[in-house]
Structure 1
């Protein structure tokens, strides 16, 4: 195991504890990068102005740079710094924070969730994207298409994707852009969320192209991370059968799952200028692997961190990032995850017939479920 392959290991958390014991920020000789494993080191890296989300020499991954997926990627607020990050964020974040949780709950409840592993998988991946599509003004039938295209597009975000998957991602980016052009061309804004985003974009210098790219980004961010949060909540209930009772507070469960076993295990930062972090000198071009999941289990951040506690006092988590790149949709993601888990439990009162492994990933911890054979 190493700090990257740990993301999909059956239990990476004792290994993360070993890494924290080596020092909060240290150089990993095998991976040839720096590793931030402690809560203080992770916080310092995420807050440092010279730690960027992309290397200066490669703002868009070479594998997609010459296609439509790369064009979208290059305009995403979470893949940029400065004005190219702040402007889209200031337009999108307020609307996400104002969404009525009951509206998201109703949209989840309106979707048909079928029993078994296939039903759970569909609820995890397609369901949250359909909810966000509906909040943006798409009809249910359109939302299902949008969810399929988003599934194809997110392949461009993984270094593990095949050439065929990347080609499909370029096509999906083209089609998603077309759907948003049509939506934005409609005379009346039926979606308060989209209307607010458009109004705030209009008062900025950002182009319509940037608006569309970041609406696609909103869908793609919803896809894997929310799916993992839902799936890992299901795993928490399988591992802790005593939690499965009528008095279970799903919102408390989701809050603890995103700390205890997060879907996003790590992220990266690229040093843009010589700097010093926690007494360590870093050079321009250095790469830092930021172990968010390890920080969540640091005793300096949470008391008794390896215990799964529904009613944890002063729960703290790095899962959604921090500072200028903190996820703007945290509350929406947790609300959708909680609502989806309630629906899954309504049709799957027995979870012991499920098996799973983790989807291949360098940073995500997202279970893939399958039904156990009937004896």
Structure 2
């Protein structure tokens, strides 16, 4: 039985885009009486919400989700600059953003090539489960190397991250939240040790970040390590979603796949263009929520403190007002407007990292003769806001039938 599409299941629906189009065709800001929230779907209104100082990422009365408050996962969450407002988090946000901007993307590409080769010897990417595991683990291995972890520590780091991120969803079970607290404690301990060890690596990323933090007056060690864990968790899901959706785009757009295969000399650039367009066309983060902290006017509506707005980033991405011919996958789209990685005060500082890892990952897979795009099959991971493919094919079984 097919359930009626709504904002609760659109992110993992096979094709949510006609639904988003119907919302854009309606009022600029519409109130859902059943879910008791406002819905923003047009690009202009989405941008207005994301830029508004009256719209916060968390409710004032619940800065940490109550289902993880009091545990290690809740402690990490409480320090995350992307989940908090106000002056206390302004300096940490500045430090994180500045340090990430200084990262050398060629180094990211080199680490991705290294780990892509190593992980394809561990996971059989010709099977759905192997490919899914590969796409989730690769970003953690890459960023773990950037942060300074030794190679033998990376598998445990990936396992902890898989457990930790599950607590960030309202769909999490009690068992998943318990596992997330255990993982968060292990992550805190490993990052605390990493920060101490980084003093012996004077030119590493962490040494630079700590120097920047000291210059800016951010001396909170727990805050620093929590935001490093947060950086890894963002990279984990966002990059797995971006890479997975890029594979889906190549499978469902054989003309685009052929362009990639025909231009081997231009393949890296073509893949960069593809990844940038997939971030818009198949957003891995389909929506976000904002909580109104004071009376304001948005989209012609007067909102009050306590109101909740669901911001449909994926709908805004396909608004013809900002992206003409929005349902087409266009590699060289001029003036592309993408809301997937946020906007304004809460724009994701790691967007360029996720795009570089994905580009290098795709380059590796396209150079594998045994990797068959036509055999890909997938569903989407259950989520209220993430569109992350879970691959289900098994090429070996298909060959034997």
What is the distance in 2 between the residues matched to 1:179 and 1:164?
23
Equivalence map 1:77-88=2 (5 Å): 77-88=81-92
Give the C-alpha shift of residue 345 in structure 1: 2.1
Could you report, residue by residue, the CA deviation over 1:5-28 in whole angstroms, capped at 9, with x for unpaired residues?
Answer: 111111111110100111221101
What is the distance in 1 between the residues matched to 2:393 and 2:383?
22
Name structure 1 gaps, 5 residues minimum.
none
Which residue in the other structure is 1:18 paired with?
22
Q: Which one of 86, 106, 113 corresponds to residue 110 of structure 2?
A: 106
What is the distance in 2 between the residues matched to 1:251 and 1:221?
20
Is 2:339 the counterpart of 1:334? no
What is the distance in 2 between the residues matched to 1:344 and 1:86?
40
Which residue in the other structure is 1:363 paired with?
385
What is the distance in 2 between the residues matched to 1:99 and 1:251?
18
Range that drifts further, 164-173 or 237-246: 237-246
Which residue in the other structure is 1:260 paired with?
281
- In proportion to residue count, which structure has more helix? 2
Could you report, residue by residue, the CA deviation over 1:186-221 in whole angstroms, capped at 9, with x for unpaired residues?
Answer: 241355211121112223244111001101000101
Three-state SS of the structure 2 residue aligned to 1:110 is: helix
Give the C-alpha shift of residue 342 in structure 1: 1.3
Q: After TM superposition, where is structure 1 displaced by more than 6 Å over at least 4 residues in a row? A: none
Give the C-alpha shift of residue 324 in structure 1: 0.8
What is the distance in 1 between the residues matched to 2:182 and 2:367?
37
Which residue in the other structure is 1:243 paired with?
256
**Is the 8 Å Cα contact of residues 41 and 311 (structure 2) preserved in structure 1?**
yes
Equivalence map 1:112-131=2 (5 Å): 112=118, 113=120, 114-116=124-126, 117-131=128-142
Equivalence map 1:1-375=2 (5 Å): 1-111=5-115, 112=118, 113=120, 114-116=124-126, 117-186=128-197, 187-189=199-201, 192-203=204-215, 204-244=217-257, 245-247=261-263, 248=267, 249-347=270-368, 348-372=370-394, 373-374=397-398, 375=401
Three-state SS of the structure 1 residue aligned to 2:76 is: helix
What is the distance in 2 between the residues matched to 1:291 and 1:206?
37
What is the distance in 2 between the residues matched to 1:86 and 1:14?
39
Range that drifts further, 71-80 or 188-197: 188-197
Range that drifts further, 200-209 or 136-145: 200-209
Could you report, residue by residue, the CA deviation over 1:200-244 in whole angstroms, capped at 9, with x for unpaired residues?
Answer: 222324411100110100010111111000000000010011222
Please report the RMSD computed on the Cα atoms of aligned residues, expressed in angstroms.
1.3
Range that drifts further, 328-337 or 84-93: 84-93
The verdict on how the C-alpha distance between 1:224 and 1:304 changes in structure 2, with shifts beyond 3 A counting, is same
**Is the 8 Å Cα contact of residues 87 and 206 (structure 1) preserved in structure 2?**
no
Three-state SS of the structure 1 residue aligned to 2:373 is: coil
- For normalisation by structure 2, the TM-score amounts to 0.91
Three-state SS of the structure 1 residue aligned to 2:374 is: coil
**Is the 8 Å Cα contact of residues 77 and 84 (structure 1) preserved in structure 2?**
no
**Is the 8 Å Cα contact of residues 265 and 365 (structure 1) preserved in structure 2?**
yes
Could you report, residue by residue, the CA deviation over 1:227-274 in whole angstroms, capped at 9, with x for unpaired residues?
Answer: 000000000010011222141511011011000011000000000011
The verdict on how the C-alpha distance between 1:230 and 1:190 changes in structure 2, with shifts beyond 3 A counting, is farther
Give the C-alpha shift of residue 43 in structure 1: 0.2
Three-state SS of the structure 1 residue aligned to 2:61 is: coil
What is the distance in 2 between the residues matched to 1:7 and 1:312?
24
Name structure 2 gaps, 5 residues minimum.
none
Give the C-alpha shift of residue 346 in structure 1: 2.3
**Is the 8 Å Cα contact of residues 157 and 187 (structure 2) preserved in structure 1?**
yes
**Is the 8 Å Cα contact of residues 92 and 218 (structure 2) preserved in structure 1?**
no
What is the distance in 2 between the residues matched to 1:191 and 1:224?
28
- For normalisation by structure 1, the TM-score amounts to 0.97
Alignment size in residue pairs:
375
